[in-house]
Each structure stands twice: as C-alpha cells, then as structure tokens.
Amino acid sequence: MGSFYIPGRAHGWSTFRQAGATYERTVNKEWCLSLGYHQWIARDDGLNGASVEEPVFTQYYNIPVGALRAQVGHKMIDLLPAYRLVLSRHDILKAGVGVSYCWGLNAYVNWFSRNPNFPYDYQMTTALRKVSYWGAGTRLSYDHLFFKEVLAIGVGIGARYYPGKPAVQYDYGLHIGFNF
C-alpha cells in the first residue's frame, strides 16, 4: 500500500491511494528481478486519480479546450532489475531501474464558457480518453526480515517517467513480503 505524487496535480490528502503487488526473483546474491503491478485507488470524492490543480483564482477562467483536467484509474506494470545490498542478515537495501507501462483514462476539456459578469463563474465539460504510455521506472527500497527471514517488512520510494505524459509520477509506501 502506498501513495503517489505528481507535480502540478491536486491529490487531496490520503495516505493510501495506490495498491500493488510485486513478484521478485533473486538472480544471484547481488541481483534480483521484480515484476510489479500498481493501481490507483478511489479517493473519497470517487476520483481514483489526480486532478489538475486550479491555477490562481483570476486565471482559471481561461482554461483552454484540450487541457488535461484529470488522470483517472491509471494502472502500471514495472519490470525492474535491481541491485541488492545486504546490510546485515536481516536488512536489505535494493535499487533498480527498468521499464514501465501505464494505462488508464485522461479527462480533457472539450468545451469551456465563462461569465464575464459577477459572480464570474464558468462552465466546462470534459471528455475521457483512453491513454497508454511506455516509459522508465526506478525504485529504492529497504526490507527488514523477520521470522527466520520468511517475512519482510519495508519502505520504498520510486519514480516513473513516461515520454508524452504530463509529469513524472513519484510514489512511496510500505510493503510486506513473504520469502518462499
């Protein structure tokens, strides 16, 4: 369980807004390969994604048609080879870089009208479009092993960059793993 942050997007505050599962295979003592799936979780307002932050009050009356308004229901698959640094018998630090694929819906403005008189309100409609991106991902994680090295609990941070997507996505979270 974790959360994510995209610069320039309004997220509201919620601790856990992304869930995922990762399968990791040790290649040798120093290297491992992980395959992960992550998905944004619905927020209290029903939007399982990130909406665009409103610009300064006087500027958001000029939102251009075609502007990105929200990213909804995005899912990501990551394939990351990672270097394992064994700090002690029970502590492992991992760093990896690899390929990432993302798909979901983006909401774009398709009609906008503003009232030039008081109360200076505006009306806008958006349209959802399916999108998908190939890009790169990176991950840094720490695991502490318990119960004869069967259970791993740790923290992780990461970033994903997709060329053509509006911004880099940063994610962070807690994880629990089982070694078998």
Q: What is the DSSP letter of 180?
A: -
More confident residue, 31 or 61: 31
Q: Please state, in angstroms and rounded to a whole number, the distance separating the CA atoms of residues 4 and 118.
A: 38
Q: Please state, in angstroms and rounded to a whole number, the distance separating the CA atoms of residues 1 and 3.
A: 7
* Cβ-contact 167, 9 below 8 angstroms: yes
Q: Which amino acid is at 139?
A: R
- Percentage of the chain with pLDDT > 70? 76
44 Cβ neighbours under 8 A, 6+ residues apart: 12, 14
- Percentage of the chain with pLDDT > 90? 22
Identify the bridge partners of residue 176 per DSSP, sorted by sequence position. 153
pLDDT reading at 42 higher than 90 = no
More confident residue, 177 or 117: 177
Average pLDDT over residues 140-144: 91
Residues 66-114 pLDDT 10s: 877 777 788 999 999 999 998 888 898 999 999 999 998 888 888 877 7
More confident residue, 49 or 157: 157
169 Cβ neighbours under 8 A, 6+ residues apart: 4, 5, 6, 159, 160, 161
Q: Which amino acid is at 119?
A: P
More confident residue, 166 or 152: 152
Q: Please state, in angstroms and rounded to a whole number, the distance separating the CA atoms of residues 70 and 56.
A: 18
Q: Please state, in angstroms and rounded to a whole number, the distance separating the CA atoms of residues 11 and 105.
A: 16
More confident residue, 112 or 167: 112
- What structural domains does the chain harbor? 2-178 (2.40.160.20)
Please say whether the dihedral angle defined by the alpha carbons of residues 70, 73, 79 and 82, taken in this order, is positive or negative: positive
